[in-house]
Amino acid sequence: MQSPPVLRGRSRRWRRSPYLRTDYRRELALFPYSGPRLAVIAVTVLLVAAYPFLADAYWLGVINLAVIAAIGALGLQIVTGMAGQLSLGHAAFLAVGGFFAAGLYLHLGLPLWIAGPAAMLAGATVGAIAGLPALRIRGFYLGITTLAVQYVIIAIGLKYQGYLQTSFGTSGSLSLPIPDLGLFTLTSTMDWYYFLVVLTGVVILAVTNLKRSALGRSLLAVRQRELAAEALGVNVARVKITAFALSGALGGLAGALSAYYYRGVGIEDFDLLLSVEYLAMIIVGGLGSILGAVLGAVFVIATPLLVGQLIAVLGLEGVLSQHLRAIELAVFALTMIGFLLFEPDGLAGVWQRLKTYVTRWPFKYTAMSTQAKR
């Protein structure tokens, strides 16, 4: 669209009001108001870059795990949070990714930079197959079929590990070398941190763009009103399968990354609890929210470790060490219930309210737009 002649070229960009937008390209920009947003982004980037120097090795490792989980959680967010298709077997996609990457190394000697995309493709394929039942069934019943997919994958993984034991004489789980990315290797925790942060940034940007494109709108449309979406020309079957495939691709990537991060992979790591933890991430973070998936991943990964640290700080290790796992699980369960009861919009909702409060201060009304940005 051409801007009206009065507005064109009259004022320089830095003098123009950020609220006066003269074309739709600007209206559709991710950050339509430049000034303060740029400052926020700069501070965020600086903080993220400085984190390894502020935190000790332990907490750097924790964030690495959380960031890997965030990629997986974004996958689940697409299928369950945005498209509304309950997936209880997300760990299956992680297992596929992890084993695919490890298998490619073991049999063909392929490095991570090839295995990563390959694991995404494998995850997407399994995801698309796992999504087929969604064309016929919904809700809890669909959840059960995805659970079945996870157990099928576990059964295949066990067979594969058994085959490796008999023919290669290795122990049950597969081991991996220090990842080689072609240009550099990921030796230290800090190398991993920067690599993962950049990769996750790319994934977040890609998912954000998908969400505000035609696919994202049809995902949310299918979640809300499947029939109305179909009557508007949305191919619901295709949207559902695409959602599952994307979920599988991101799950596969997270699986491959964690396999390399731990330098090994074993099928017993991909139990039902892992799937539930991923579900917890998107519920605690806020269903459908991209920020929520990331915050939820950090929360679910860090909380048990924080509880452990707290017990250590309080000097209660001697008394409670035997029950540590039980206490971690109890805290996890209670926060889940708390979020479901009191904060259905999750951490992303809390963040949104906080932001509204600050930007509206000293006025106290809640803006209507808070719901829209989910």
Partner 1 sequence: MIPTLEVDKVRITFGGITAVDDVSFDLSGQELVALIGPNGAGKTALLNSISGIYRPSSGEVRLEGRSLNGVPVHKIATGGVGRAFQHAELFAGLTVVDNLMVGRHRQLKGSLLSMAVRVGPYLRREVAQRAVVEEVIDFFELEQVRNRPVSSLPFGVQKLVGVARALCMEPRVLLLDEPSSGLTRQEKEDFARFMLRIRHDRGLPMLWVEHDMQMVMDLAERIVVLDHGVKIADGAPDAVAENPAVRTAYLGVDDTEMTRAGSPG
Query: Does 137 contact partner 1 by CB under 8 A?
Result: no
Own/partner long-range contacts of 102-111 (Cβ < 8 Å, ≥24 apart) = 102/174, 102/176, 102/259, 102/264, 102/265, 103/160, 103/174, 105/176, 105/177, 106/164, 106/168, 106/174, 111/179, 111/180, 111/181, 111/182
Binder of partner 1 out of 7, 8, 11, 27 (CB under 8 A): 27
Q: Omega before 117 cis (within 30°)?
A: no
Query: Does 233 contact partner 1 by CB under 8 A?
Result: yes
> Nearest distance from residue 124's CB to partner 1, in Å?
10
Nearer Cβ to partner 1, position 132 or 190?
A: 132
Residues with Cβ within 8 Å of 158's Cβ and at least 6 positions away in sequence, in order, are: 267
Nearer Cβ to partner 1, position 322 or 369?
A: 369
Nearer Cβ to partner 1, position 85 or 218?
A: 218
> Nearest distance from residue 242's CB to partner 1, in Å?
7
Binder of partner 1 out of 62, 236, 306, 320 (CB under 8 A): 236
Nearer Cβ to partner 1, position 266 or 288?
A: 288
Binder of partner 1 out of 37, 225, 263, 355 (CB under 8 A): 225
Binder of partner 1 out of 227, 313, 341, 358 (CB under 8 A): 227
Kindly write out the interface string for residues 271-300 of this chain, putting x where it contacts partner 1 by CB under 8 A and - elsewhere. -----------------x------------
Binder of partner 1 out of 6, 54, 183, 231 (CB under 8 A): 231
> Nearest distance from residue 197's CB to partner 1, in Å?
19
Query: Does 134 contact partner 1 by CB under 8 A?
Result: no
Stretch that binds partner 1, among 51-59, 148-156, 203-211, 257-265 (CB under 8 A): 203-211
Stretch that binds partner 1, among 17-25, 134-142, 160-168, 335-343 (CB under 8 A): 17-25
Kindly write out the interface string for residues 204-223 of this chain, putting x where it contacts partner 1 by CB under 8 A and - elsewhere. --xx-xx--xxxxxx-xx-x
Which pair of tokens denotes residue 106?
Answer: 């073991």
Which pair of tokens denotes residue 319?
Answer: 């008394």
> Nearest distance from residue 371's CB to partner 1, in Å?
5
Binder of partner 1 out of 134, 229, 243, 290 (CB under 8 A): 229
Nearer Cβ to partner 1, position 186 or 293?
A: 293
Nearer Cβ to partner 1, position 153 or 219?
A: 219
Nearer Cβ to partner 1, position 16 or 21?
A: 21
- Binders of partner 1 in range 141-200 (CB under 8 A): none
Query: Does 28 contact partner 1 by CB under 8 A?
Result: yes
Q: How far is residue 304's CA from residue 280's CA, in Å, rounded to a whole number? A: 13
Nearer Cβ to partner 1, position 313 or 368?
A: 368
Stretch that binds partner 1, among 36-44, 95-103, 309-317, 363-371 (CB under 8 A): 363-371
As a three-state string, the secondary structure of the chain is: CCCCCCCCCCCCHHHCCCCCCCCHHHHCCCCCCCHHHHHHHHHHHHHHHHHHHHCCHHHHHHHHHHHHHHHHHHHHHHHHHHCCCCCCCHHHHHHHHHHHHHHHHHHHCCCHHHHHHHHHHHHHHHHHHHCHHHHCCCHHHHHHHHHHHHHHHHHHHHHHHHHHHHHHCCCCCEECCCCECCCCECCCHHHHHHHHHHHHHHHHHHHHHHHCCHHHHHHHHHHHCHHHHHHCCCCHHHHHHHHHHHHHHHHHHHHHHHHHHCCEECHHHCCHHHHHHHHHHHHHHCCCCHHHHHHHHHHHHHHHHHHHHHHHHCCCHHHHHHHHHHHHHHHHHHHHHHHHHHCCCHHHHHHHHHHHHHHHCCCCCCCCHHHHCC
Nearer Cβ to partner 1, position 204 or 324?
A: 204
Which pair of tokens denotes residue 109?
Answer: 């000697």
Binding site for partner 1 (CB under 8 A): 1, 23-25, 27-28, 206-207, 209-210, 213-218, 220-221, 223-225, 227-236, 242, 246, 288, 368-369, 371-372, 374
